[in-house]
Structure 1
Amino acid sequence: MIRICGVDCMRYLFPLFIMVAVSVLITTIFIIQGFTFNFQLEIVPLIAFYVFTDLFRIKKSKIKLVTNFAGAVPIVVFGAPYFLPFIAFFSSFFKKHSEGPDLIKRKLYGALHYFVMYGVAVYFSDNVRNPYIALLVFAIVAKALNFIMGDLLYAYIRKKQVFDSELLKVSGIEFIYFVFLAIYGGLMWRLYELGLAFETILVFLLYPVIVGIVWVYVQFSNISKERKKSIERIESIRERLKKILEMISIVRSNPDFEEALNTMAQIVNDALGYKYCIINLLDRRNNKIIRVAQSGLTKEEFDKLKSNPPPIDYIMQVLDDQFKVSRSYFIPEGAKEIDTTYAYVGDYDELLKSEAEWKPGDVLIVPIMRNEEMVGYISVDAPKDGKRPQFEDIEMLEIIADQILRVIEDSTRFREILMASKTDLATGLYTHTEFYSVLEKLIKSKEKRFSIIMIDLDNFKEINDTYGHVVGDQVIEKIARVIRKNLRKKDIGARYGGDEFAVIAMDASKADAMNIAKRISKEIREISVGQIKMRVTCSMGIASYPFDGESASDLVEKADRALYAAKKAGKNKIYAI
């Protein structure tokens, strides 16, 4: 078995030096013993069969079996054993390897590994006259060297433990495979010596069948293992979910909201197995991210993070749909250039030593959603099992995110921040997004009736051009006050755009909406800014649900058409469809 991946190239030098020295020694011994490079066409089919077995992959877990041993035995049997190390070297070096760091070094290591493995095995078996014993010696020596170079030297290079249970199990399978092929090869050798060509060919043709049987066995074993792992994972998910829900019920009864949120972060660490968890809230009014709670950081580390809050754009950089999983975002290391100015950098030594799937640069963001708007997020890092998240892991994090929202909503301290995320900073009215969110919810709830009023200021550009943007901003603020003053408690006012506004008049007919619109229009005409004499007017369009449309887009379109008709009719008018 060979398990070589990208590593520090300096750790290749010592094992490569040893294998090069042994390879030179083996070649020298072969030459002394009379080996010459007289290539014979008769061995071309044997070379082709060896290359086929070398390319044929059988993997048990993450460990590749040495399938090319099935191609090595016939070369030894049919009288070309000294060619075998060279065939193995070039076949290994020129076959396709997985891309990654140290590719040439990995290819050279693999090629030398097979050269030494088969060269030494040929040397020790060459003088044994009994074909069965000769091939058994060949198999045992080859397997022993494979274990030393493929596993012990691998451990030296990668600083990993060798004697894990899975490795020993696969080594056992591989040893039986080697011995069986050696015994079977002894039979083929004996038949060949007796001149029984037909029987020899039949035995040789069974070699691919043996490789196929091993492949089927390993595949079945892998499937059984995966099935067992799936069952264990389902049980683990069930237990973790049960634990999460039990802990959440306790947390939500805690009146201390900061303590409750810190406990929520601890749940993420304990139940889902992350080393670090930070809960963040978006303060849209002040354009900053508030670090609310954490688990895994020291008090000093968290205080340092809180003292330097990032702007909201900092988190928006990672919310790329190509990395979306469920409603969360997982960005693998190197997949996207991410500004890490405000990031917390934890301790990743354990992950690096274990060569875990999760990389220090991996990012997992779980948004905290209120309706269709993101009001905060959970960031987690360094899973204790070293694995990247699966779909169900992310779904459990999203369950916790929903519960965190409930805790935040109950907090007086954070309620204003949540409201700020829904309101326009300049006017205090709801945002364009929240307007549509409320509209959609009303339609989904099958509200009996309501009306919308679209408002557009007349000639607002002239006010800005004549009196300046400062005065223009004051006009916008005064109009917002007029709208808020004339709305009933259950009505909704929103800033739809720059100089556009919208009103949702609850349980209002067109006549009711027309009365509200008239009051707003009248007071807008009375607006003044300081000693400046100006004429401020607006045009309005009204549409009603369900008569003018049964979707948000239909209603807004109808109200807009009425608004444009009012503009076309001379402005300062209110039209209804």
Structure 2
Amino acid sequence: MDKRAKQIYKGLIRQKDMLSERSMLDAITSIYNSIHLLDFEKDVYNEIQATPEIHDYVGSTGKISECFPAVMKEMTTPESRESMVSFVEFETITEKLRECDNLEVDFRGVIHGWIRASFFVISRTLTGKLRKVLFTTRVVDVGMSSQMDFEKDMPVAYVVLRAIYDESHTQVRDMEFVFVNQKYCEWTGKAPEELIGQTIYGTFERTNDDWLKNCQEVMIEGKSSYGRVFAPEMGAWVSFNCAPVSKKDCCAFAFINSDEEQKQFETNEAVIYCTTVLNSERDYKTAMNKMFHTLGYTLHADRIFLMEVNNNMVETTFKWTCRSGEDLECPPKYPMHVLLRMREFMNTHRSVSLYEVDDFKQFDNSVYENMKARGVKNLAIKILYSNRRPIGIICVENYEDDHVLDIQQVLNKISYYVSFRITNHDLVDELDTVGNRDALTGLLNRHGIDRYTDQYIYAHEMMPCTLIMLDIDNFKYVNDMFGHLAGDEVLCTLANNLKKIFPEEALIARNGGDEFLVFMKNVTAQQAEPYIDRLVHMDMEFQFEEGHCMVTVSAGYVEYPKQANGLQDLFKKADIALYAVKLNGKNGAHIYEEGMEKEDRKQLGFNMNDIVENIPCALIVHEAKAEGHILFANNQAVDMFDCTDLNDFLQYAGLNCRGFIHEEDYDWLMEDLSLQNAAGLPILRSKRDYRVVTRKGTVKRVFDMQRLVESKYHGSIVYVLLFMKESCEELS
């Protein structure tokens, strides 16, 4: 560990809280590129400081055991990858730090060359178990890197020069090259071996005498120097900065092409403009469309596509073309594994890749053929990430590289904001689903429709709108006869039908149970009636394992502000109109009318079970055919046959009437029923006197009254009222 790092470390282990002293954090961040706090008890890391590349890949927080090996796998060169992935395993680090408080390892990175990773133990438990550890990385000293690494990473032209003084040692008369990087060699057209050890005046016929003046100020007067001059050896105007270095009599010059400065300025302006557009709109779709429109014209592109990951498929969610009105053909959907292969093909997830279309021949022939068919000549690609997870991809097709902007930098910087907007939108969608959506049907719930209708009425106070309230007729029968899964299927089918019948801008909600709401914006009741007519006449026929079922609906509707003066008044009057339909036979629709409030709704709420169980005779319902199944029997019937409950009675009867009718009377009764059925007689007016047998074997004489009816659920059925003959004779 170098001297300065040791000083920082000693200060750290004296701190109970790593962030309690701002000066300590400033000292740390002055040395290290990336700093993360590791909580080994919770297997969690938290970012304190990170380079854009590290932040883009690992995010602000995550699991140590999952993330660290993945980071090393991506960011180390092949020769050191295996050892580093093994080194940062959770158990390995824990073991290595068991007996020591700090640990360092150097490795070759794919971006910055030699990297030093350091672990500093901040706190342990009383038993010595790790608690908090500071993990840092930084690019190590130039001496630790190969010259190739240094040259690759230096973003500007850079030289180290040794001053050559006159005899009095007061004036600099020339400068000798001690170090040059690749960028300087490219600008001057010289190889490193042509420069190292040579002097400026001995190497270049034409150079700028200001270099000596700047070196003089730095070496003798101790001043840093900067400015903008024309450099003949580079053939361009450059901005420079000159400063002393640790090597005796040496100074360093860093040069930036002034043209590059302008390009960087334009690039930053483009990024600022695009991100301002993206963040200026609250509505997600509007913001994204405007941003891609701005980006498209900025990059002089033909087309831009944003493809997002959705259920393991990658599909287009936003598109832009420079030709307004063009029917833009989108790239096809791709399975998720294509995006993962794309990442491998691009060879890195951190940068933007620029391609000619022919480059994709080696990636995937079907993708290549699709691009050729759509006229793609070149494209820029940026994969979007959220917490190390690919969430989408931006494709810019047929861009024009006029060298005014750095296309890769523009896309790379904008991608952070686009990724955040996508992730934020997904989170808002998820919260909206939880708070405002019905889990079964996916429609709005009551809270959701209350919220959105209230917002609409508030914003469009005098605009007409219509609220429709509907429910399924006899829905309890569906649940009772076919089960709740069948009931759920009916509810989901009705929800899908509502979305097909009503316009896209209508708000559709499940109010609860089998009741639904439809709010039609800027629509009068008269304009809504064709939709309502389709609703009540729609075909909803189901075939379940237990049998066939036809479902109908009833609806009531009301218009705002013509008939109602607010949201609650709308709901109240739509409810009144709905129950007016229920009172008049169901399967219909009615608009609210004054006076409907006076309708007596008590009959709808009357408990039919009370009626059936309290009529003064036995009631049995069975199918109108030989061996027809018994569908229902009330408690008086159960008692009449000495049974304990309905199930006991059905078991005794064998599910049909043959089981309890005396065998000598059964045949003539069935013949009589067949004649009645054939004649279409709904009521048998004469009393039929016959015998029945109870579970205890007791023979009882009864007479009955029957009604033959047609049920849409069961076909022909018979309602039978059974009276004990002895009881009736006593009454007479």
Same fold, judged at TM 0.5 (above): no
Taking CA–CA contacts closer than 8 Å with sequence separation of 6 or more, which of the two structures ends up with the larger relative contact order? Answer: 1
Normalising by structure 1, we get a TM-score of 0.30
Greater helix content = 1
Larger CA Rg, structure 1 vs 2? 2
